Chains A and B, each alone.
Chain A
Amino acid sequence: AQTVTQSQPEMSVQEAETVTLSCTYDTSESDYYLFWYKQPPSRQMILVIRQEAYKQQNATENRFSVNFQKAAKSFSLKISDSQLGDAAMYFCAYYTGTASKLTFGTGTRLQVTL
């Protein structure tokens, strides 16, 4: 079974600084997708960034980028120039067509301070 582990229950970053959220996963599949989702206090889950496992290039979306290390099964999220609106719960998630479902990690609560 696939598992996703987020070892940082909470993180804090100062506004305009950079923060990295960690995620590791376990799978025997070779073809899969990884995601970071943001869940603000309003509770709607919003996609931040996605990475296809077959792509070596790390995905980027504006201030958000990932460090995908396939051999190490690691998928960290870097948020640059942090903003107050980035404060939320961040979930790492894994998807494979075999299971056709997202498996989530336990989440990291990010606080952004002035």
Chain B
Amino acid sequence: DAMVIQNPRYQVTQFGKPVTLSCSQTLNHNVMYWYQQKSSQAPKLLFHYYDKDFNNEADTPDNFQSRRPNTSFCFLDIRSPGLGDAAMYLCATSEGLKAYTFGSGTRLTVV
């Protein structure tokens, strides 16, 4: 089945140690999104790619970066994770409004 896949499902990283989360899709959607969701809160958009065009939310910290090397893959890089960055990170894709599809998420723990 076509889908959005996030790896790993759980990630533990040390305070200040760079970490990369990955997302891949088989839907061939042109837009890919990264959301941060803290416990019992709404998902918060960090940034999105429309094809190769990168769109950063104004309040996304500089500590968060993203790469999209091709249509299928998108990465979230956290340069120096702090305790406050512990959260679920959700990747989503869309083709306009068609099938806005989420992955299962990566739960990041910072120790």
> Interface of chain A, helix or strand or loop or mixed?
strand
14 interchain pairs, CB-CB under 8 A: A43-B104, A43-B105, A43-B107, A44-B103, A45-B43, A45-B90, A45-B102, A47-B100, A95-B97, A95-B100, A97-B96, A100-B48, A101-B45, A102-B33
**Dominant SS among interface residues on chain B:** strand
Q: B42 near A: Cβ within 8 Å?
A: yes
The interface size bin for chain B is 20 to 34
Contact B102 A91 (CB under 8 A): no
User: Which chain B residues border A106 with CB–CB below 8 Å?
Assistant: 41-42
Q: Complex formed: what's the CA distance from A111 to B105 in Å?
A: 23
Q: Mark B31-59, 1 if CB is under 8 A from A, else 0.
A: 10100000011110100101000010000
Residues of chain A lying within 8 A (CB to CB) of residue B48: 100-101
Most A CB contacts (10 A, CB to CB) among B42, B97, B104 go to: B42
- A33 in the interface (beta carbon within 8 A): yes
Given contacts A43-B105, A44-B105, A45-B90, whether A104 and B42 have CB atoms under 8 Å apart is yes
Q: Once the chains are docked, how many angstroms separate the CA of A22 from the CA of B20?
A: 37
Assess whether A102 is in contact with B41, with CB atoms less than 8 Å apart: no
- Give A residues with C-beta under 8 Å from B: 33, 35, 42-47, 91, 95, 97, 100-107, 109
CA A42 – CA B104 in complex, angstroms? 8
- Is B21's CB within 8 Å of the partner chain A? no
Contact of B74 with A by CB under 8 A? no
B88 within 8 A of A: yes
Which partner residue on chain B sits nearest A37 by CB separation?
B102
CB-based nearest B residue for A46: B102
A44-B43 in contact given A33-B97, A101-B48 (Cβ < 8 Å): no
Which of A44, A91, A102, A103 has the most chain B CB within a 10 Å cutoff? A102
